[in-house]
Structure formats: C-alpha cells, structure tokens
C-alpha cells in the first residue's frame, strides 16, 4: 500500500510543473507598465453604469482631449436623455446602443465602462471585437461566460448598494433608496456633484442584470482588457473587484483610492490613468 501511495505522489509531483505553467498563462498582470511612449491618438467611448447617464462623465471628456485624443459618452436605453420605459429594456438593447456608436468609428476605440456597464462591454466585445482596441472596466462587473451579473452582485455582503435597493418587479426596475446615494456612490464627492447626481439618477431595468452572458474565447477572449480598481468603493467593494479578476483574467490593472465615482471625485487621476493605455 505504501509503495502504491509513494508512486502516486511521484506522479503528481511530475505533473505539477506543467500545471503551474498553464496557470501562469491565465493569471492577470498585477502591475501595468506606466512608462510614457509615443502612441497614436485614441478615441474613448464612455458607457455609464446603473442609474447613471452620459452626464456622469462630464469632467472626463475635457481632460482626455489632448494630443489628438477624442471622446464621447453615450446614454443607454432608459437613462439620461433616452426615455425608453425601463420595464421592457434588455441587455441586448444596451449592447445594440454601444455597437451603434462603435460603427461610427473607422478605427478601434478604447471602450470604458463603469459598474454595471461591465457586462455591456463584455457582450459588445463578443459581437464586435474588431472595433475595440481595449476594454476598460472601471470598478465594473467582470462576469464569466454563462452567468448573469446579479449572481455575483448579491455575493457582495459588504456593499452599501446591495442592502439599500428598492425593487419594483411588476414594472421591472430597481433603484437605491435616496438616503443611500451619498454613501453608496459619492462619499468622496463634492456637495455640488452629490446634489446634481441625486437629481439625475434614473430607474434601472431588472432584465439586463439577470441575463447570462454569452462569451467565447475566440472573440471576447481576444480583446485586451484593463481593470481599474477603486479601493474605497462601497457599492462594488474592492474585495469583490479582486475576486472577479481571479475568475476572469485581464491584461493590465490600475488602482485609485476612490469611491465608486472617480469620474467625479478624481477626474484628473482617472484621465491620467486612461492616457497611459
């Protein structure tokens, strides 16, 4: 018996180097190369997260318009200037809205998504990988193939947002309690920005976050991915952000000591990070 056990141990040890080698190929790069090097101008497309519209990026766009770079922020259906009723909105409609924007550009874009927009980015990359230079997940949901966002979101037991959501299932939407806006999204933002955002947040459709993603290694898997952590995030906590990267590797990782809304509280730092890509 001991001889057989010894032989099994030897066989396992012989396999370990190959296993380790395969694992390393899947690990995300922990530190980005931030050295400045000449690059051609980039076009940034911003996709807002749940409850927000294109308006939330208003501080970012002027900061990125340097050295020929350009940017645009879009409203998803049911948000901002788009008045589509939330109850019937699907993930596919979100994806169509972004794909419609990408079709306007001849060159691949840097597609930046915040929070819930992570699932939109991933599904857009599956559909139009050739139109994307890189995907940038800003404290965003990075979900594996075959899973819906909501399953991961509900595991974030330290999230102020998750514990303060109001659901209207008959009408198909949800929204945070007004009393939770500051703590969940904007605790390091100015009073002016908090007042502005509180007046502009809109109801979020339920269907998109409950839709399993359909992703492949051949399409989504081939697109460069960047993750920007927000280490003081109380909506999508830093702990959950790190866990998501363990399941879906990325190519570059950055960190900002910020809340869930660095586009408001730290726009320059966020712009500087994006200009390093």
Per-residue pLDDT tens over the stretch 81-111: 999 999 999 999 999 999 999 999 999 999 9
Burial class (CB in 10 A: 0-12, 13-18, 19+), 55: middle
Q: Residue ranges per domain, the chain?
A: 42-275
Residue bearing tokens 């990988």: 129
Mean pLDDT on 44-62? 97
Q: Given a cut of 90, is residue 10 above it in pLDDT?
A: no
H/E stretch holding 109 reads strand 109-114
Beta strand 132-138 with 225-230 is parallel
**pLDDT beyond 90 at 3:** no
pTM, two decimals, is 0.86
Selection from 116, 120, 136 nearest residue 49 by Cα: 116
Q: pLDDT (tens digit, 9 = 90+) per residue, 233-276?
A: 999 999 999 999 999 999 999 999 999 999 999 999 999 999 99
Q: What is the DSSP string of 190-220?
A: -HHHHHHHHHH--PEESTGGGSPP---TTTG
The overall longest dimension of the chain from CA atoms, in Å, is: 74
CA proximity to 123, closest of 213, 200, 37: 213
| Chain centroid offset of residue 139 CA | 6
Nearest to residue 114, comparing CAs of 57, 160, 161, 67?
57
CB–CB of 108/135 below 8 Å?
no
| Structure confidence by residue, pLDDT tens digits, 128-183 | 999 999 999 999 999 999 999 999 999 999 999 999 999 999 999 999 999 999 99
Tell me the two tokens of residue 182: 């500051």
Q: What percent of the chain has pLDDT over 70?
A: 86
CATH topology for the 42-275 domain: Rossmann fold (3.40.50)
3-class DSSP assignment, residue 251: coil
HSE-up of residue 185 (Cα within 13 Å, Cβ side): 27
- Calpha distance 43→178 (Å, rounded): 35
């Amino acid at each position: 018996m001991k001889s057989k056990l010894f032989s099994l141990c030897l066989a396992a040890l012989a396999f370990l180097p190959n296993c380790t080698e395969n694992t390393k190929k899947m690990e995300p790069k922990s530190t980005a190369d931030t050295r400045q090097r000449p690059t051609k101008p980039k076009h940034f497309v911003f996709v807002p997260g749940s409850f927000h519209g294109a308006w939330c990026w208003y501080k970012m766009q002027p900061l990125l318009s340097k050295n020929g770079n350009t940017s645009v922020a879009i409203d998803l259906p049911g948000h901002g200037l788009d008045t589509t009723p939330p109850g019937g909105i699907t993930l596919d409609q979100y994806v169509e809205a972004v794909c419609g924007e990408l079709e306007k550009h001849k060159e691949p874009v840097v597609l930046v998504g915040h929070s819930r927009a992570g699932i939109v980015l991933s599904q857009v990359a599956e559909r139009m990988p050739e139109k994307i230079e890189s995907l940038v997940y800003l404290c965003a949901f990075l979900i594996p193939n075959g899973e819906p966002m909501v399953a991961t979101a509900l595991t974030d037991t330290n999230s102020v947002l998750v514990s303060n959501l109001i659901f209207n299932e008959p009408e198909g939407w949800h929204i945070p309690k007004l009393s939770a806006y500051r703590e969940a999204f904007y605790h390091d933002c100015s009073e002016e920005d908090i007042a502005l955002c509180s007046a502009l947040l809109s109801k979020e459709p339920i269907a998109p976050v409950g839709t399993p993603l359909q992703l492949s290694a051949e399409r989504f898997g081939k697109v460069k991915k960047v993750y920007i952590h927000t280490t003081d995030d109380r909506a999508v906590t830093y702990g959950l952000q790190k866990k998501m990267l363990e399941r879906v590797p990325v190519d570059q990782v950055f960190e900002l000591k910020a809340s869930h809304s660095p586009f408001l509280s730290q726009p320059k730092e966020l712009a500087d990070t994006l200009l390093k890509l």
